[in-house]
Amino acid sequence: MRRRTQLKTNESGVTLVELVIGLTIFAIVALSLLGLFTSLVQSSILIKRKSVAITLATNRMEYLKSLPYNSLVIAGGSIYGTAPLPADTYDTLNGVTYRTNVSINYVDDAYDGCASSLNCKNQPAPSGAPATDTNPADYKIIHVVVYGPNNIPYAEVDTQISARVAETASTTGALFVTVIDDNGNPVSGANINVLNSTISPSVNLNDSSDSNGVAIFYNLPPDTTGYDYTITASKSGYSSLSTIKPSGSLTPTYPSQNIFSQLSSYVTLVIKPMSINSLVIEATDTSGNPIGNLQVSAKGGYKKYTSTTNTEYYYNNFDPTDVRATTGGDGIATLSSLTPGPYIFCDGSGSGCKIGSNNYYLAAALPYSGTNSFSPINVPSVPIGSTPNPVFNYSGNDYVQKVRLVFSTDASFPSIDTLTPDDASIANDNLSAFEFQIDGKNIPCSASAGACATTVQILQGGSSYTASCTGTADTHMECIVDLTGVSVGLTQLQIVVGSKTLTVPAGSMMGGINVTP
């Protein structure tokens, strides 16, 4: 009896803690095995998809290699052709859709000279090669990529193909497009379109600029008289720019191109980093009161023509389509996505700035930042990834420029367009006889300073400095003023014609002579 009791006492079981530990270890092992199994399955799927993609890429490449050389043209690519091949084809295998993308481009090889040293392969050119290759479409390179689900690339192959008889006489031309920013730096990855709808079939080609900012379009049909090849460059975060044709005797700043047989044409386009929130417009009368419900015309950005007297710009919100900004009750309007550059308002006068049928005449445009007083107002370029400085907040948005437009309903009220120079140095300028010029309207003056009908004063604090001026008609004045004792900082400009006085408002905006140490 004692023995049986002893045996029963020595029997052991599994405690709850031990059971939990055991289950935890089992769960860890099971999860590890499950993760390993899942990884193996995913690897198997990946290997299978890559195998399918390699087969599709190889088959597509072999098909392309079987085609005539001149048929190797992709729709929307950089090579012109009458029957382009699709850039993308689709295959669905085992429930998975694969996209095969093909790009074909010409290659300029240095063995027979280079059309451009920036885009020429296998340099330097061998001894005896021509200095310039006038037929740079030496051979083609085919690039095939197969994408699977989620646009993941699974296979990639490429090859070079030459014509049976290379470097034969060509009846086509080439176009070299260079894209730079406003500091002269190359812009890579810009989208470039070449369009000519006057020939049949029409030319509509696309390519991207390389690391040198260059894209080359070969095999273009000649068009030697109409400047019908229009080139457009664009990139996210930048302004876009298209070439235009000459207009009479006016030469475009960015001209469309002719293409000549056996020759290359060249064009450089400048696109600029830009901000979506561009400009705050603050409209007031000559007493500083806000003007609401005012339609304000503006034009600027890229200048259309090289002529210094022509003031046509790519951006014009009044002509040919009226999309003018309208001020609210606070006198404020905003403009967005403006190409960086100079802007003028109301066409420099009352044209285009109205409330109903009533004209409002621009007396002065005063920027809140920049390097010049008065017009034109510069909308600054904003480098990608940088923070604009300064910024002007309105309605919760930060704008890169702000301008006050001062208006009068009197067509004969004096106005100021430009003040040159608009800065004076205490150390380096002769302030006792400081010379400046004013251009504007309704500022009558004569060749004799004593007979000038317009009084010009420089104001700073409680001091005023009256200038002696001569003028031409009612639009130009040349003045000299004694600024002895002036302090560092901004001054104000005041124009008095009879009973009419234009005093540039004081404040954080510009609009006078800036005095520097």
Is the pLDDT score of 9 beyond 60? no
Q: Which residues contact 86 (CB under 8 A, 6 or more apart)?
A: 74, 75
The average confidence (pLDDT) of the chain is 87
CATH dotted code for 417-516: 2.60.40.10
47 vs 465: which has the higher pLDDT: 465
CA atoms within 13 A on the CB side of 4: 1
Where does the pLDDT of residue 398 fall: very low under 50, low under 70, confident under 90, or very high at 90 and above? very high
Domain 277-408: which CATH class? mainly beta
CA atoms within 13 A on the CB side of 448: 2
Q: Do 277-408 and 417-516 have matching folds?
A: yes
Where does the pLDDT of residue 2 fall: very low under 50, low under 70, confident under 90, or very high at 90 and above? very low
Query: For residues 409 and 508, is the Cβ–Cβ distance under 8 A?
Result: no
Where does the pLDDT of residue 39 fall: very low under 50, low under 70, confident under 90, or very high at 90 and above? low
102 vs 136: which has the higher pLDDT: 102
Q: What are the tokens at 262?
A: 């056996």
Q: pLDDT tens digit string along 429-477?
A: 999 999 999 999 999 999 888 889 999 999 998 899 999 999 988 999 9
Strand partners, 207: 192
Cα–Cα distance for residue pair 104/141, rounded to 1 Å: 6
Where does the pLDDT of residue 48 fall: very low under 50, low under 70, confident under 90, or very high at 90 and above? confident
* Sign of the CA dihedral with 297 first, then 299, 305, and 310 last: positive
pLDDT at 445: 93
Is the pLDDT score of 43 beyond 90? no
Q: Which residues contact 421 (CB under 8 A, 6 or more apart)?
A: 436, 513
pLDDT at 316: 95
Q: pLDDT tens digit string along 271-306?
A: 999 999 999 999 999 999 999 999 999 999 999 999
Q: What are the tokens at 169?
A: 């006489």
Instruction: List Cα–Cα distances, 58 to 51, 75, 149, 309, in angstroms.
Output: 11, 21, 19, 60
Instruction: List Cα–Cα distances, 143 to 87, 122, 496, in angstroms.
Output: 11, 19, 71
Total residues belonging to the chain: 517
Q: What are the tokens at 344?
A: 């003028």
Domain spans, the chain: 67-271, 277-408, 417-516
For 67-271, CATH number out of 2.40.30.10, 2.60.40.10, 3.40.50.300, 2.120.10.30 equals 2.60.40.10
Is the pLDDT score of 150 beyond 90? no
Is the pLDDT score of 406 beyond 60? yes
Of 44-53, 231-240, 454-463, least confident by mean pLDDT is 44-53
SS3 17: helix
Percent above pLDDT 70 for the chain: 91
pLDDT at 127: 78
Cα–Cα distance for residue pair 368/404, rounded to 1 Å: 8
Alpha-carbon dihedral 194, 196, 199, 202, rounded to 10 degrees? 60
Q: pLDDT tens digit string along 318-328?
A: 999 999 999 99
Is the pLDDT score of 269 beyond 90? yes
Where does the pLDDT of residue 7 fall: very low under 50, low under 70, confident under 90, or very high at 90 and above? very low
Burial of 200 (C-beta count, 10 Å sphere; 0-12/13-18/19+): exposed
Is the pLDDT score of 3 beyond 50? no
pLDDT at 12: 58
Q: How many other CB atoms are found less than 10 A from the CB of residue 216?
A: 24
Percent above pLDDT 90 for the chain: 54
Q: pLDDT tens digit string along 155-213?
A: 888 888 876 555 445 678 888 999 999 999 999 999 999 999 999 889 999 999 998 89
Of 4-8, 132-136, 447-451, least confident by mean pLDDT is 4-8
Closest CA to 403 of 342, 350, 355, 456: 342
Query: For residues 134 and 108, is the Cβ–Cβ distance under 8 A?
Result: no
381 vs 351: which has the higher pLDDT: 381
pLDDT at 459: 93
